[in-house]
Amino acid sequence: MLDTPEAKEIFKFCNRFLTHDYPKNPRQVLSELLEMLDPNLEADRYGQGEVITSFEEEVAGLLGKEAAVFMPSGTMCQQIALRIWSQRQRTANVAFHPKCHLETHEEKAYQRLHGLHGILVGSADRLLTLADLKAITEPIGALLIELPQRDLGGQLPSWEALSEIIAWTRECGIPTHLDGARLWECQPFYQREYAQIAALFDTVYVSFYKVLGGIAGSVLAGPTDVIAEARTWQRRHGGNLIHLYPYVLSAQKGLRERVGRMESYRAKATEIATLLAPFSEITLVPNPPHTNMMHLYLRGERAKLEDAALEVAKETGIWLFSWLASTALPTTTMFELTVGEATLDLSKQEIVAAFQLLLAKASA
């Protein structure tokens, strides 16, 4: 309903957005990059050149790792990391949460492309625990942990619980890999430097197109020998493109402009949770939010809520959400709220009034 031609026209009319950033067309994105571009900068070529190597070194330093490699996608980074670790451990078993991105969004690529066997750890509706890991009876070639867990509303384990898990894996000699697609958003929760968080893991993947607003791209960071091997696998995946500089430059721009805003994003998410908590038709997970993300569960008929959201957009110019997902309860739907640049510009009064109007129209 929200991807129809009519809805897309209404979206173009909107100038306020509850989630993420203000939409930009390619011309706007590239014009902003052009403004920051050194006129003497030379293009990278097959992963070589100052523009890409200097950025890899910058990210490796930020994460406290020996080396890093820039790749077009996180899907590529993570499959490669698990492949390397599992081969070194001489077992195809890799462990991760049932709602891990590799399991739910990548068409079993880890299995079909790399012959890996996924061991699902714990329950799909909560974070994995040390007890869940200790219950595994098979050898593990690598453990992947996602921080924060996106499909659980951006939940994070406590630092103590996370440290206990890592201590156990080290005792068992199990390599650990961090799915840090949203690692940047974890810092306010843990109140630790990125290098300190990353130090718990043998390899780390980070993304640049999500909260940082880059065009695309990711980095895999870790020991020098692992990253050297990862470059070979990147070529095998077809990811060693002749030029990656548009992605690198936009990643660099997002990293330098937005990493320092994570505390503001999380504070806004906490504010929104406080504002919406009194609504009996809304449930927030988690509440309070751990990061700048949360899941909003809305009671009501999906079609009526979507129609109501379009009416709110037409009347106020505020776009609330782009999709609603079904849940186990037929009378409840859900959407993911991620605080970004556009969210910061909405006042408390505007947020409350928009949801009041949404729910009133949906129940009319």
Sequence-distant (6+) residues with CB within 8 A of 291 are: 148, 154, 156, 182, 185, 186, 188, 189, 265, 266, 269
Three-state DSSP at 318 gives strand
Sequence-distant (6+) residues with CB within 8 A of 341 are: 20, 21, 22, 213
- The tens digit of pLDDT for each residue in 132-153 reads 999 999 999 999 999 999 999 9
Within a domain: 29: no
Q: Write the DSSP symbol of residue 155.
A: B
Sequence-distant (6+) residues with CB within 8 A of 295 are: 152, 153, 154, 284, 285, 334, 335, 336, 337
Average pLDDT, the chain: 97
Quote the CA–CA distance of 265 and 20 in Å, as a whole number: 10
Q: What is the pLDDT of residue 298?
A: 98
Mean pLDDT of 48-66: 97
- The tens digit of pLDDT for each residue in 65-111 reads 999 999 999 999 999 999 999 999 999 999 999 999 999 999 999 99
pLDDT of 198 higher than 80: yes
Confidence bin at 182 (pLDDT 50/70/90): very high
pLDDT exceeding 70 applies to what percent of the chain?
Answer: 100
Among 257, 287, 313, the domain-final residue is 257
| Other beta carbons less than 10 A from residue 246's beta carbon | 16
Looking at the structure, tell me whether residues 233 and 297 fall in a common domain. Answer: no
pLDDT exceeding 90 applies to what percent of the chain?
Answer: 99
Within a domain: 35: no
pLDDT of 194 higher than 90: yes
Sequence-distant (6+) residues with CB within 8 A of 239 are: 71, 72, 73, 76
Looking at the structure, tell me whether residues 319 and 220 fall in a common domain. Answer: no
Q: What is the pLDDT of residue 1?
A: 64
- The tens digit of pLDDT for each residue in 292-306 reads 999 999 999 999 999
CATH code of 118's domain: 3.40.640.10
Looking at the structure, tell me whether residues 233 and 324 fall in a common domain. Answer: no
Distances in Å between the Cα of 159 and the Cα atoms of 169, 187, 288, 319, 353 are 15, 11, 17, 36, 37
Within a domain: 32: no
For the chain, what's the residue count? 364
Looking at the structure, tell me whether residues 235 and 203 fall in a common domain. Answer: yes
Within a domain: 16: yes
Three-state DSSP at 248 gives helix
What is the domain count for the chain? 2
Q: What would the two tokens of residue 338 be?
A: 């991620």
Strand 282-285 and strand 293-299: the pairing is antiparallel
Looking at the structure, tell me whether residues 152 and 73 fall in a common domain. Answer: yes
Among 295, 283, 272, 281, residue whose Cα is nearest residue 345: 272
Distances in Å between the Cα of 9 and the Cα atoms of 3, 304, 319 are 10, 19, 12
Confidence bin at 3 (pLDDT 50/70/90): confident
Looking at the structure, tell me whether residues 124 and 231 fall in a common domain. Answer: yes
One-letter amino acid of 281: E
Looking at the structure, tell me whether residues 19 and 65 fall in a common domain. Answer: no
pTM given for the model: 0.96
Within a domain: 30: no
Within a domain: 36: no
Among 218, 235, 257, the domain-final residue is 257
Q: What is the distance of C-alpha 113 from the center of its chain? A: 23
Looking at the structure, tell me whether residues 239 and 276 fall in a common domain. Answer: no
Burial readout 286-305 (b: 16 or more C-beta within 10 A, e: otherwise)? bbebbbbbbbbbbbbebeeb
Looking at the structure, tell me whether residues 270 and 247 fall in a common domain. Answer: no
Among 147, 157, 96, residue whose Cα is nearest residue 124: 96
Q: What is the pLDDT of residue 322?
A: 94
Q: Are 249 and 37 in contact (CB under 8 A)?
A: yes
CATH code of 355's domain: 3.90.1150.10
Confidence bin at 31 (pLDDT 50/70/90): very high
Mean pLDDT of 242-264: 97
- The tens digit of pLDDT for each residue in 313-326 reads 999 999 999 999 99
Looking at the structure, tell me whether residues 247 and 217 fall in a common domain. Answer: yes
Q: What is the pLDDT of residue 288?
A: 97
Q: What is the pLDDT of residue 2?
A: 81
DSSP string, 80-127: HHHHHHHHHHT--EEEE-TT-HHHHSSTTHHHHTT--EEEE-S-TTS-
Among 192, 227, 257, the domain-final residue is 257
Looking at the structure, tell me whether residues 167 and 271 fall in a common domain. Answer: no
Q: Are 117 and 102 in contact (CB under 8 A)?
A: no
Q: Write the DSSP symbol of residue 152.
A: G
Mean pLDDT of 345-354: 98
Within a domain: 33: no
**Host domain of residue 272:** 5-23+261-363
Within a domain: 226: yes
Looking at the structure, tell me whether residues 289 and 253 fall in a common domain. Answer: no
